[in-house]
Amino acid sequence: MAQTIERMNSPEARKPEVTTRTVPAGSSAAVVDERVLARRAREAKKAKMTAVNEADRVSTDIGSPLVAPDGTLRMVPNLGRTVTVVGMVTNVDVNDGPHPKNIRGELGKAMNHWYTKTVAKDPLMRATDNSHAADKRNFLTTFTNAASKGIVNEQKPKVVDPAALSRHIKKVAKHLGADLVGIGAANPAFMYASGSRYVQDGEANDKYQSMSPDALAKRFPFVIQTTVAWDHDTLQAHRHHIGDMSYHHTSMKNAMVMKALEGYIKEMGYTAIRGAVNPQGAGLAAGLGELGRNGMMITERFGARVHMPDPILTDMPLVADGPIDLGVEDFCKICRKCASNCPTNSISFGPKVVYNGIQKYKINWLTCYKIRPYVADHYGSCLTCVAVCPFTKPDAWWRRVGGKLLKTTPIKARPPVVRALKWIDDTFWGEFPSRRVKFMGYDTGLKVGEHNCTDPQCTANHKEPKKLIEGSAGFYAPVKKQTDAFVKRG
């Protein structure tokens, strides 16, 4: 990473004038800079005063982001301005995620039935959403994710220039279909718990599953993250099957890109592990974007309309990119457009909180997730927070001008720039974008299930009197009535 906390045995740590102390450990002792420990303790104390901190121990304890279980000094990840590690991070088991919990029936009968037993009414959804296909053999990534893991080529080329290899691997990823590619320094803080792997519809069995997050980060020092952008025009049909398609089919593309890139790295003679690293943590460390109030990765070219797949952990000698500053931190403090439009009140209007030792904006994933069975006739995924985000715009010159203006403005002078850009967004795109979208015979001007005529020149005999749908606004399901059953509104 471009910027890091001091490491163990660094030149500064070995200087005689620096006060040090020994951290107790089972295997070996580590010399730790007292100034670093004091600074991290102050940050943890400040976090506890400003937000709800779930960590019971400060960051100077064994097992914290600063000190590994064996007593050695960790490198605290630099994830940019939008996400900060301020306390002890407990590595998450992938089995505690929303989908695994739902499959086990821990989120209620309605959710479990919707996820495991319902078949989508729309054939395009059945072919692009693995959870609701009539036959999963018709879903492409069922096979790519479940494919046998290939062996690593024993013929490993000599690498004399890691920077050149880094540029090359990015070109390969883009040739395979990625829109954005970044390389981050691996860190145990954003890895899953020991032995925990996540690959949807597949298995991520590898011989390194018994290794701890600390050991993995040391053995495989780099993580590669790619993403494929959702189509902007179809995304405008958020809360509709068209928007679902924009989201799900790019997930399929991502799976193909990552599978091919994984194979390429192995053919180069290096290990490629999938499902061991949190995608957002890798994306932040790799400089693909920043984390927004809506809990989504916001990128420079595509805003929040990107899908973060399971990244690749590798021992290929590369050069890590660093976090970037797009002004998301400053924009989200003022904007709150996603929170205003969230149909389930799952996005906070308030400041960041400290959750699991990480300071960030945290959404209520449970209420966001539990809306789905109640709106299944209209859509599968809401996506409103992505569509309304001012950063989510076409990759056009005027968008790039606005983005450059924001990120090049000094941080203290950004608030008036943010207010001006938000006013422009509200004026020209609306406080709640509801543009009518027509795509491959689909039309968001129609209520799902109704087949009103949209062609003024139509001469067909309709069973009902001809109803011509006019206007440029799309239809949106009355979600408030449907979600009052499980969402508490203040």
Domain boundaries along the sequence of the chain:
11-76, 80-424
- Indicate whether this model's pTM tops 0.85: no
How much is the average pLDDT of 340-345?
88
How much is the average pLDDT of 450-456?
54
How much is the average pLDDT of 111-125?
81
Burial 283-312 (b: 16+ CB within 10 A, else e): bbbbbbbbbbbbbbbbbbbbbbbbbbbbbb
C-alpha span between 301 and 400 (Å, rounded): 8
Q: Provide the pLDDT for residue 146.
A: 65
Q: Provide the pLDDT for residue 454.
A: 52
Confidence of residue 288 (pLDDT cuts 50, 70, 90): very high
Sheet of 358-360, strand order:
84-85, 358-360, 353-355
How much is the average pLDDT of 321-345?
92
C-alpha span between 306 and 31 (Å, rounded): 42
C-alpha span between 35 and 20 (Å, rounded): 8
Place of tokens 């995608």: 279
Tokens standing for 198?
Answer: 């996540």
Tokens standing for 321?
Answer: 């990119």
C-alpha span between 228 and 237 (Å, rounded): 19
How much is the average pLDDT of 369-375?
84
HSE (side-chain half, CA atoms, 13 Å) at 490: 4
C-alpha span between 2 and 479 (Å, rounded): 44
326-336 pLDDT, tens digit each:
999 999 999 99
In the predicted model, is pLDDT for residue 73 greater than 80? no
Q: Provide the pLDDT for residue 326.
A: 94
Q: What is the 3-state secondary structure (H, E, C) of the chain?
A: CCCCCCCCCCHHHHCCCCCEEEECCCCCCEEEEHHHHHHHHHHHHHHHHHCCECCCCCCCCECCCCECCCCCECCCCCCCCCCEECCCCCCCCHHHCHHHHHHCCCCCHHHHHHHHHCCCCCHHHHHHCHHHCCCHHHCCHHHHHHCCCCCCCCCCCCCCCHHHHHHHHHHHHHHCCCCEEEEEECCHHHECCCCCCCCCCCCCCCCCCCCCHHHHHHHCCEEEEEECECCHHHHCCCCCHHHHHHHHHHHHHHHHHHHHHHHHHHHCCCCEEECCECHHHHHHHCCCEEECCCCCEEECCCECCECCCCCEEECCCCCCCCCCCCCHHHHHHHCCHHHHHCCCCCCCCCCCEEECCEEECCCCHHHHHHCHHHHCCCCCCCCHHHHHCCCCCCCCHHHHHHHHHHHHCCHHHHHHHHHHHHHHHHHHHCCCCCECCEECCEECCCCCCCCCECCCCCCCCCCCCCCECCCCECCCCCHHHHHCCCCCCC
C-alpha span between 344 and 489 (Å, rounded): 8
Confidence of residue 284 (pLDDT cuts 50, 70, 90): very high
For 134-138, 186-190, 309-313, 321-325, which range has the lowest pLDDT when averaged over its residues? 134-138
Place of tokens 């931190």: 329
Q: Provide the pLDDT for residue 447.
A: 63
Q: Among candidates 73, 69, 63, 80, which has minimal Cα distance to 22?
A: 73
Confidence of residue 483 (pLDDT cuts 50, 70, 90): low
Q: Among candidates 74, 63, 92, which has minimal Cα distance to 30?
A: 74
Q: Provide the pLDDT for residue 479.
A: 55
224-234 pLDDT, tens digit each:
999 999 988 88
C-alpha span between 41 and 47 (Å, rounded): 10
Residue 486 has a CB neighbour count (10 Å cut-off) of: 15
Q: Provide the pLDDT for residue 203.
A: 59
In the predicted model, is pLDDT for residue 169 greater than 90? yes
How does the average pLDDT of the chain come out, rounded?
78
Confidence of residue 373 (pLDDT cuts 50, 70, 90): confident
Non-local CB neighbours of 313 within 8 Å, separated by 6+ positions: 186, 216, 220, 222, 223, 272, 273, 274, 276, 277
Higher pLDDT, 330 or 374: 330
350-363 pLDDT, tens digit each:
999 999 889 999 99
Q: Provide the pLDDT for residue 72.
A: 54
Non-local CB neighbours of 420 within 8 Å, separated by 6+ positions: none
Residue 461 burial (10 A CB sphere; 0-12, 13-18, 19+):
exposed
Share of the chain above pLDDT 70, in %: 73
C-alpha span between 246 and 238 (Å, rounded): 9
- CB 227 within 8 Å of CB 288: yes
